[in-house]
Chains A and B, each alone.
Chain A
Amino acid sequence: MKKKISALGLALVMAFALAACGNTQEVSREDQETSAPAGSGTEGEAKAVKDPYVEDVKIAYVAHDISTPNNQAWLEGIERECEYYDNITVQSFNGDSSAEEQVKIMSEVINQEYDAVIIQCSDGAALADSVTQAEDAGIPVVTLNLDADCTHAALVQALDYDAGRLVADEIAAATNEEGKVVIIQGIAGVSRTDNLEKGFRDTLESKYPNMEIIASQAADFEKEKATNVMNGFLSQFDKIDGVFAINDAMAAGASLAAQNAGRLGEMVIWGADGEKDALAMIEEGTLTGTIYTNSWDQGSTAAKVALLMVGSEYDSHVLTKTPSVMMEPVVATKDTVGTIAEEDRW
């Protein structure tokens, strides 16, 4: 019997392999690479133009992870923008930090004939097909920070690569351009955070040859994990001049660890995003700085763009690249944090 089962299994695997290979013989990798993504090139039906401020309009907001302050702030911004108009409904979906989940949600949103989608793509390559499908179905897609690898209505973006550059400049200035720096990373593979880190590393490498990155370690965006990582760094290195945590929660964790070790005074600690708690920490002096973006404004900008598209005769096929709106970054330090108004803190 055992033999029979293993034979059966083997046969299955082979059958599957055969099915998979289908008609792929003799195709060079270049041909495969350049094969057109499905869906593109097919003309969508003539788009029905709605008056977004009168007719019923449904906007879907597909979050990367709805539980983070940034995603909440965007949602809040979108809702504020649409609040006044009774005809507009905003529905949020939680991508649960997973591209698979977001792809599922996109199918859902297309199926339910939403009028526009605002999405933060967990993985630009994975979402490309879904975003193209939505655009083909006449649903404009506006991406937030995390772009999709295909042409779509608009990208509303807080600076990431440049934010990393700004932090590098600040840390270099604070350490006379010859400090030892550690990086606390987010989850690998998330493009915004990768870009932040890349901007930071590139700048240090090219502009500040005497600065040294002595260690980097992931703490998955979490405060608690960042505390542990930072504790490790503190016991490992006698001299740390600068810390760059890829988001504010981890910067807060790093600060906590440095405070407990009594070494907060000897280093500068930078985060990124600019959430409310981080700004408060900068004010009380436990955090050196962060790159603040007004996420409410960003959400509401995305909503404005989406509504504009709904009301226009826009068709994604006329675009060859995604137009983008850049949000202004604010370098928040003890000196500048006061300029960020209370009502702009998220």
Chain B
Amino acid sequence: MNKNTIRKLVSAGLLLILIVVFTVSSDYFLTPGNFMEILRDASVVGIIGVGVTMVILTAGIDLSTGSTMALVGMTMANIYRYTLFPIWSMVLAGILAGILAGIFNGFIVTKLSLPEFIATLSTMNIFRALTYIISIKQNGLITSQALKARSFVALGKSVGGIYYVILVFLLLAVIGQIILKYTRYGTNLYAVGSNMKAAKLSGINTDRTRLLAYTITGGCSGVAAVFMTARLQSTTALLGSGMEFNVIAAVVVGGCSLAGGRGDIIGTLIGAVFMATLDNGIYKFQINTAYQLIIKGIIIICVVAFDSWYNNFMDEASRNKKRKGAGA
């Protein structure tokens, strides 16, 4: 078994421990309804996580995903309110807005050579501001816009007890994993993240690789926004505030290195479910909100600390092995 598989098993094991602890401490945790609720929460974060994983693999970061969601939501709200275009085209236009936002991110990161953190921090504000500008206003004041078309609201519902958003997340996760592991593009992502210079010298178009990663992230944010607004049956200019950090946390807890070159979608899937489980389970302890946050923080620190220790340990082990091999 290779070290990544072991690591993932360990992550899954930690998740299992978490589930056992919560099950023992609350009667309300291990019920089918709650289980679906956890997956539903994990899915929105996870869908964006698919894209963000690719960005982080290239040693980049995307802080604008939450604002992109708001922009997508408000784009759809405008189409809904002011036109008679069918709902599917509204959804498509929303996702397209997300993709454009992603392309914009990719463009300023690669063509203007801005540090990813600053670039996407700026676009985080720009996209949020654009959302304000195109917001539905009543008497000059920004209001939330209801999106109550039956076919749209249905996207927030379930089929056979499984929410659509979960199915879409699983589909995107599978596609993402295939792209990472079995396509040239996937290999390029790892190469760019591990060593950009080497990747460039070996003929990889690093700019295009990174630009596409941001574009995919924009598209994923768009898809996530569609399901989020379908669930909320409305959108506001504040949609997705703080979402970017939940996503990054899930991706990192799932074993992605912020330094790039390490991690995959399966890890992100585990990370997203882990974070959602933690959120959900913590609510069931009848304790002060502040302590809930402390417990959450400590658990995340432990998991990521373990991850970092484990990676060092395995690197050390493989180095020793090589040394022994060389000595023999």
> Chain A residues in contact with chain B, CB under 8 A?
1-2, 4-5, 8-9, 12-13, 16-18, 20-25, 27-29, 32-33, 35, 37-38, 63, 66, 89, 91-94, 96-100, 103-105, 107-108, 111-113, 122-126, 128-129, 149, 187-191, 194, 197-198, 201
Contacts and interface: CB of A to CB of B under 8 A. Distances in A.
Interface in B129-151: 132, 135, 139-146, 148-151
B153 A104 contact: no
Given A16-B168, A123-B232, A188-B141, 16 more contacts: A1-B185, A16-B223, A17-B88, A24-B87, A29-B84, A35-B148, A66-B289, A94-B293, A97-B238, A98-B241, A100-B228, A100-B239, A107-B37, A108-B284, A112-B283, A189-B135
A120 to B, nearest CB: 14
Given A99-B236, A149-B146, A189-B142, A17 B91 contact: yes
B202 interface: no
Given A13-B92, A125-B146, A194-B143, A111 B234 contact: no
B286 A37 contact: no
Contact of B183 (A5, A13, A89, A149): A5
Interface of B: 26, 28, 31, 33-34, 37, 41, 80, 84, 86-89, 91-92, 95, 132, 135, 139-146, 148-155, 157, 168, 175, 179, 183-185, 216, 219, 223, 226, 228, 231-243, 279-280, 283-284, 286, 288-289, 293
B283 A20 contact: no
A17 B92 contact: yes
B242 A128 contact: no
B228 A125 contact: no
Given A13-B92, A189-B144, A194-B141, A111 B34 contact: yes
Given A25-B86, A103-B232, A149-B146, A38 B238 contact: no
Given A38-B157, A194-B141, A32 B149 contact: yes
Contacts of A93: 283, 289
Nearest to B37: A107
Contact of B234 (A1, A25, A97, A125): A125
Given A21-B88, A25-B86, A97-B238, A92 B289 contact: yes
A20 B238 contact: no
Given A22-B151, A111-B33, A13 B95 contact: yes
Contacts of A126: 144, 232-236
Contacts of B219: 9, 13
Contact of B289 (A94, A108, A189, A198): A94
A99 B143 contact: no
A218 to B, nearest CB: 9
A4 B185 CA distance: 11
A97 B150 contact: no
Contacts, number: 169
A8 B37 CA distance: 30
B151 A23 contact: yes
Given A123-B144, A123-B236, A125-B233, A21 B87 contact: yes
Contacts of A13: 92, 95, 219
A21 B152 CA distance: 8
A338 to B, nearest CB: 34
A32 B237 contact: no
A96 B242 contact: yes
A188 B34 CA distance: 33
B135, B232, B280: most-surrounded residue (chain A CB, <10 A): B232
A32 B238 contact: no
B30 to A, nearest CB: 11
B238 A98 contact: yes
Contacts of B141: 188, 194, 197-198
B293 to A, nearest CB: 8
Contacts of A37: 148, 153, 233
A219 to B, nearest CB: 15
Given A93-B283, A103-B231, A188 B92 contact: no
A112 B28 contact: yes
Nearest to A14: B92
Nearest to B154: A22
Nearest to B288: A92
20 contacts: A8-B175, A20-B92, A24-B86, A24-B87, A24-B88, A24-B149, A27-B151, A32-B149, A32-B152, A100-B228, A103-B231, A112-B284, A123-B236, A125-B145, A125-B146, A125-B232, A126-B235, A128-B233, A189-B236, A201-B140
Contacts of B157: 38
